[in-house]
Amino acid sequence: MRRFLKSLILGAGLLAAVGCNGTTSNIIVNHPTAPPAAAQYQQIERLGRPAIKEAFQNWQAHDQTNRSAPTNDTALMTAVSTFMTSPAGANRSAAIASFVSTVLFPDEIAADLSQTVAGCGAANAPCGAYLGAETGGATGSTFGGRWLNDDTIKTSLGVIFGPTVPALSAGTIPDDGKESWCLTDHNLSSGEGTFQSYSNTFPYVNTPY
């Protein structure tokens, strides 16, 4: 690597020295002693919870969401509400749609670091629980976050198309009877497929298969 860099520097120096007129005069090499001024960056991608944009929002609106702050994303919030209540979407009740919007915004994965969760030391024991902080522990623990083996897609499908919200609300949000049972599970967990085995050491997952 050092040899490559040295050759690169020497090559650049030779080009600068020769220049257009073949002379070697007035060669100046600048060595900055201070860091450059703060650079300006533009946000072009944002992903909080998995499959939220993909499930609720038209592709054409993804760019607007990608450039928005998770706490100020009216495009995605409107898309969630519209999809949940539209006959062309999930066609759920207003109460269920309102609950889903409340849980999903802001579009950030929340974790309550003050919580002590048993099982974090074991390789295959659950620690976090996807949407746990947002739902008061209804999905497994109040710690929240996202455990490596959380089936977030299955959880999301149950919330959108299944009976998850009425069950989580303990009856305060009535079941609307509009479940789409064929869409409530992607049938890839709970013994329905082959999954990772986890270890306590990096990279924590087994060889890809």
Render pLDDT for 126-146 as a digit per residue (tens, 0 to 9).
678 899 888 888 887 888 888
- In a domain, residue 133? The reply is yes
Give the residue ranges of DSSP H helices in the chain. Answer: 2-18, 52-56, 62-66, 74-85, 94-104, 152-161, 164-168
Q: Residue 127 has what pLDDT?
A: 74
How many domains does the chain contain in total?
Answer: 1
pLDDT, position 39? 77
Give the structural domain span for 59.
52-183
Q: Is residue 19 left, alpha or beta, with left meaning phi > 0 and alpha meaning psi from -120 to 50?
A: left
pLDDT value, residue 9: 35
Euclidean distance between CA atoms 83 and 90, whole angstroms = 6
Q: Is residue 155 part of a domain?
A: yes
Amino acid identity for residue 9 in this structure:
I
Q: Give residues with Cβ within 8 angstroms of 196, minimum separation 6.
A: 148, 149, 205, 206
User: Is 151 within a domain?
Assistant: yes
Is residue 202 situated within a structural domain? no
Asked if residues 150 and 130 have their Cβ atoms less than 8 Å apart, the reply is yes
